[in-house]
Structure 1
Amino acid sequence: MNERAHRTVTTAHRYAAYYAPAFGGPLSEAGSRWLGRSACDGRAVPQPVVEGVSPELLRQLTAGPRRYGWHATLKAPFALLPQLELSNLHGGIQAICAAWDAFELPALKVDLIDDFLALVPAQSSTAIHALAGACVTGLKSFARPLSSFELERRRAPGLTSREDALLCSWGYPFVLDCFRFHMSLTGSLRHTEPEIVRALAEGAQRHFDKVPAGRFDAISLFAEPSPGADFICLEQIRLGA
């Protein structure tokens, strides 16, 4: 448990259920270093040297995922219903965790998803997809419905009809059959020169090449303390009764 975070965060703007590697482990350390921040304690971490990419540009291109912390989304950030408290949400995640045993993650690789780089499984995992689906459906009753403004904001990048239906039903478009497990390494690279994208991909692959994927053994409860603030991990709730 992140005791420091629990002492300072009792209510938050938004919460999220993420997969985050065990803090202090190889994948957690490698990911935090790539992004330049640890979501466990909020400390800044020196980023690696990436050949062909300046430190300033690397920091700029990793700004988005750095704010959200090193993670893979299970239940995307949401506002808690006003009649509920953090303890209610914590209990809901605990109930999901109790129904699942830990399992090994597949090997991970760097890949380009749409217009950003991410660490993704080298092969599909039915366990990951099933657990992510359980989080989406099992935590819906805790989430405040999206406002019309939030709906339009999420629609802005352009969604398929299926993604739009999922957004309306579950508050996020990339869930259930449209879910893809990934740990973001950059923000959008749409306007980034191809040689920079290649350098980033090669540098990320070298950075994570010898890092073991490890086990999926917890669901991490993250919080955005105030609008636009960096997300922090409140607790890693272990799988298993």
Structure 2
Amino acid sequence: MTEHASRRAHRYAAYFAPAIESAWWEAGSNWLGRCAASGAPRPQPVFDGLPAELQRKATAAPRRYGWHATLAAPFTLWPHIGEATLRDGLQTLCQAWEPFAMPALEVALLDDFLALVPVQPSPALRAVAGACVTGLHAFAEPLSPAELQRRRAAGLTPEEDALLVRWGYPFVLERFRFHMSLTGSLRDTAPDMVEALRAAAQRHFAPLLASPPLRFEGISLFAEPAPGADFMCLAQMELGR
């Protein structure tokens, strides 16, 4: 388990993240321009036909959250619960699962952003993500009215709104879609530049996408130290341990 000492953070999240210092971790961190384990910036790869300024802007949102796929979205701990208790709870959750091979991934436009997504559904991914949502819910404070309004402003279906109220996030359980974000919203980006970003991501990750599938071997605890701060990887906890 990789750990970094920290005081109580503003918010916590349970993510899937490749093992720190693995080829997958390095590729994702370099693409985003920041390592969420060290907090250090990374020089982003340069691609013909893709302006560096556009690349930097397009990756700003996922860069703050770090290289990951969301399992349990960021939440605030109840005041009476400490970080150590949360770690223990996540460790217990990990013990119930064994590592498994994930489906192959591909670069795709998901709604209005680019992400790495599975080429086929994975019941195992959905089951682990669901266990994180339901298993960690008791640690999380309910969303504030302001946060509920912020989430609803994006336009939710009745089903998604019910999930938001019950679990604090609208895209969980039956609405869960595993994805590793490569950009933020590209809604206002010209189509040719969206294609340039997609092609660049395809070139960047091609060696890994052509390799044996990425394995799901652990759940990572990330934290937002203070409101608006970059998320940091606090611990990577192995499944089955």
Find the counterpart in structure 1 of residue 28 from structure 2: 31
Offset at 1:51?
Answer: 2.5
Write the letter of the residue equivalent to 2:217: D
Find the counterpart in structure 1 of residue 88 from structure 2: 91
* Larger mean Cα displacement after TM superposition, 48-57 or 74-83: 48-57
Is contact 1:108-1:121 (8 Å) kept? yes
Is contact 1:2-1:40 (8 Å) kept? no
Find the counterpart in structure 2 of residue 206 from structure 1: 203
Show the 5 A alignment for 1:115-130.
115-130=112-127
Coordinate RMSD, CA, aligned? 0.9
Find the counterpart in structure 1 of residue 64 from structure 2: 67
Does structure 1 residue 80 correspond to structure 2 residue 58? no
Show the 5 A alignment for 1:12-161.
12-161=9-158
SS of the aligned residue for 1:227 comes to coil
* Larger mean Cα displacement after TM superposition, 52-61 or 222-231: 52-61
Write the letter of the residue equivalent to 1:119: L
Find the counterpart in structure 1 of residue 231 from structure 2: 231
Offset at 1:50?
Answer: 2.4
Is contact 1:100-1:239 (8 Å) kept? yes
Find the counterpart in structure 1 of residue 174 from structure 2: 177
* Superimposed CA distance per residue, residues 48-67 of structure 1 (whole angstroms, 9 cap, x where no aligned partner): 11232211110111000000
Does structure 1 residue 162 correspond to structure 2 residue 159? yes
* Superimposed CA distance per residue, residues 27-59 of structure 1 (whole angstroms, 9 cap, x where no aligned partner): 111000100000010111111112322111101
Is contact 1:38-1:45 (8 Å) kept? yes
Is contact 1:53-1:199 (8 Å) kept? yes
Offset at 1:214?
Answer: 2.1
Within 2, Cα distance between the matches of 1:93 and 1:111?
A: 30
* Superimposed CA distance per residue, residues 121-162 of structure 1 (whole angstroms, 9 cap, x where no aligned partner): 111111000000000000000000001000000111111111
SS of the aligned residue for 2:207 comes to coil
* Superimposed CA distance per residue, residues 49-97 of structure 1 (whole angstroms, 9 cap, x where no aligned partner): 1232211110111000000000000000000000000011101111110
Q: Count residues in correspondence.
A: 238
Within 1, Cα distance between the matches of 2:65 and 2:75?
A: 13
Find the counterpart in structure 1 of residue 218 from structure 2: 218
Offset at 1:106?
Answer: 1.2
Structure 2, gaps ≥5 residues long: none
Q: What percentage of aligned pairs have identical amino acids?
A: 61
Within 1, Cα distance between the matches of 2:16 and 2:27?
A: 15
What TM-score do the two structures reach when normalised by structure 2?
0.97
* Larger mean Cα displacement after TM superposition, 61-70 or 207-216: 207-216
